[in-house]
A and B are shown apart, each in its own frame.
Chain A
Amino acid sequence: MPDRFVTRGFEGRPRATGLAANRVPPGQYLTNDFPVLSAGPTPTTNLRLWSFAIEGLVREKVTWSWAEFQKLPAEDFTVDISCVTKWTKLDMHWRGVSVDTLLEAVELEPRAGFATAYSDGGYTTNVRLPDLVNGQAFVAYQYDGAPLDPEHGGPARLVVPHLYFWKSAKWVRGLHITEKETPGFWESLGYHIRGDPWKEERYSGD
C-alpha cells in the first residue's frame, strides 16, 4: 500500500468515538438498518420437510428434523456483523444452536479440516473447522426475538460473526465436512477464501 493519498476536499462524517469505533473493522461503516443482499430469489422452505445434517468426514451422518432441532439446547447470541459490501451492524441479537452443540452429535474423522455449508437454493460457503468451533459459530433461527425472516435467511442460517457475513449461509441445511478446502459460491467468484474483516480479506488476492 503506498503512503496514504488524501482526497482533496473530503472531510467525512464526525468520527465514531469510544467503544463503537474500535468495533468497526477497516473500510466498514456502521448501519442501524439490516440490509439484504442475495444473488437470487429468496427460497421458501416447508418446515415439515426441513432438515439439518452434518455429513462427510464423520463416522456417521446425523440429521435433525425441524422439531428435533428446536429441542436442541439453544442460546442467545449478541454479536457484531460485518458484510463485505461495507456495512457493519453492532449488537445483533440472535437465538440458535451453537455449532459446538451440533458437532457433539458426530465423531469427526481425523482428516477432517474444513466444512462446506450448503443451503436451499444452492448456495454454499466454505469455513475452516477451527473457525466454526469454540463458540465462534451457531445456526440461528431467531433474530431480535422473532422467527428469522426468509429474506434474512430463515428458517435457519449459519452465523459466523468473526468472518464477513457471506460466510453466514442463509437458508442453511447442513455442513459437509471435508479434508480439503473447497471454495463455495462467492469464493469461486473472486471473493476471499477466508474473509476476515479485520484483515480486510474481501477479494481473492487480498
Chain B
Amino acid sequence: MATITAIRDETPRVRSYALGLPSWTPHRPGQHYDLRLTAADGYSVQRSYSIASGPEKEGEIEVTVERVMDGEVSPFLHDVAVVGDRIEVRGPIGGYFVWEPTLGGPLLLIAGGSGIVPLMAMIRHRAATASRIPTRLLYSSRAPDDIIYANELRDLAARADGLEVVHTLTRSQPAGWTGYARRIDDAMLAEVRRPLGDAPLVYICGPTPLVEGAANGLVRIGVPAQRIRTERFGPSGK
C-alpha cells in the first residue's frame, strides 16, 4: 500500500507522483510498479507505470503519468487523487528493460513522449552513481511544452559528464530552433549514434510506431539487434 506524498506538474498533461512505500525495496532503473484502483462495488483496474526515480531514494518511488483522454486510471490520478491518498501497488516488476552501470555502454536512449519515464530512471541513477558511461538521449516530443523533465535534463547535460541530450520537436519549435524538427528517421539515428560507436546498448521506449521505426532503423544502419531493448506504450495504431 503506497501513500501519495507529493504531486508535481511536469507538463500540461503530465504529472509526477511521489509514492511512499512502507515495504520499499530498491528497484532496477527501467522497472515498473502495477497500480490497482478498486471501486466500492469491488470493480478494480490495474495499470503498469514505469518508475521515474532512481533506487537512491529510500522508502519512496516516483511515477510520472500522462493523462490519457479516455483512460481509466490516469484521469483518476490527475483529477481526483490528492496527497495523502493511499493506492494499492505491486512491484518492482520487470527483468529485461533495465539498465544499471554494470551493464556498461555506451548507452543510446530513445524516447517518445511519456516513454521518457523509464529512461529517466536510468539517467537519474547514472547521475547518482557518478557514472561517466557515454550516454546520448534522443527525445521526441510534439512541442517544447510537452518535454517532460526539460529543466532537469538540461541541468544534467550541463554537467558534461558524458551525458548528451538531443531533442526532436515534431509539431512546433521555439523561435530560433536549430535542432531536429521531424519524426525520428534513419538519417537522424545515424547522426545521433555516431559518437557512440558500432554497438551501443540501446533502450527505446514510447508509442509503438516510434519504437518500431527506431528499432528497425537502428538494425538497418547496422546496430546489432540483440543490443536493442524496447518497451512500447499504448495502441499499435493499426
Contact = CB atoms under 8 A, between A and B. Distances in A.
A4 B88 CA distance: 10
A41 interface: yes
B7 interface: no
B235 A39 contact: no
Given A5-B1, A40-B215, A189-B95, A10 B230 contact: no
A43 B225 CA distance: 9
A131 interface: no
A15 B42 CA distance: 11
Interface stretch (B43-51, B156-164, B168-176): B43-51
Nearest to B79: A9
A137 B21 CA distance: 41
A33 B37 contact: no
A42 B226 contact: no
Interface string A17-46: 000000000010101011111111111000
Interface string B174-207: 0000000000000000000000000000000000
Nearest to A191: B95
B76 A10 contact: yes
B216 interface: yes
A186 B229 CA distance: 14
Contacts of B57: none
Nearest to A190: B95
Interface size range on B against A: 35 or more
Given A189-B96, A203-B93, A40 B236 contact: no
Interface in A50-72: none
A190 B219 contact: no
A41 B72 contact: no
B142 interface: no
Nearest to A203: B93
A48 interface: no
Contacts of B87: 7
Contacts of A29: 45, 72
Contact of B46 (A8, A86, A122, A203): A86
Interface in B1-49: 1, 36-48
Q: Chain A: interface secondary structure?
A: loop
A49 interface: no
Contact of A6 (B40, B72, B228, B232): B40
A166 to B, nearest CB: 12
Contact of B37 (A7, A35, A86): A7
Contact of A151 (B36, B225, B236): B236
Contact of B228 (A7, A35, A40): A40
Contacts of B85: 7-9
A41 B225 contact: yes
Contacts of B37: 7, 10, 12
A85 B228 contact: no
Contacts of B103: none
A116 to B, nearest CB: 18
A206 B158 CA distance: 45
A181 interface: no
B94 interface: yes
A42 to B, nearest CB: 6
Interface of A: 4-13, 15, 27, 29, 31, 33-43, 85-86, 121-122, 149, 151, 186, 188-190, 203
Interface of B: 1, 36-48, 72, 76, 80-81, 85-88, 93-97, 208, 212, 215-216, 218-219, 225-226, 228-232, 234-238
Q: Which 9 pairs, one residue from A and one from B, show the smallest C-beta to C-beta distance?
A: A189-B95, A41-B215, A33-B235, A9-B80, A7-B37, A10-B37, A36-B236, A190-B95, A36-B208
8 contacts: A5-B86, A10-B37, A35-B236, A36-B208, A121-B225, A151-B236, A151-B238, A190-B94
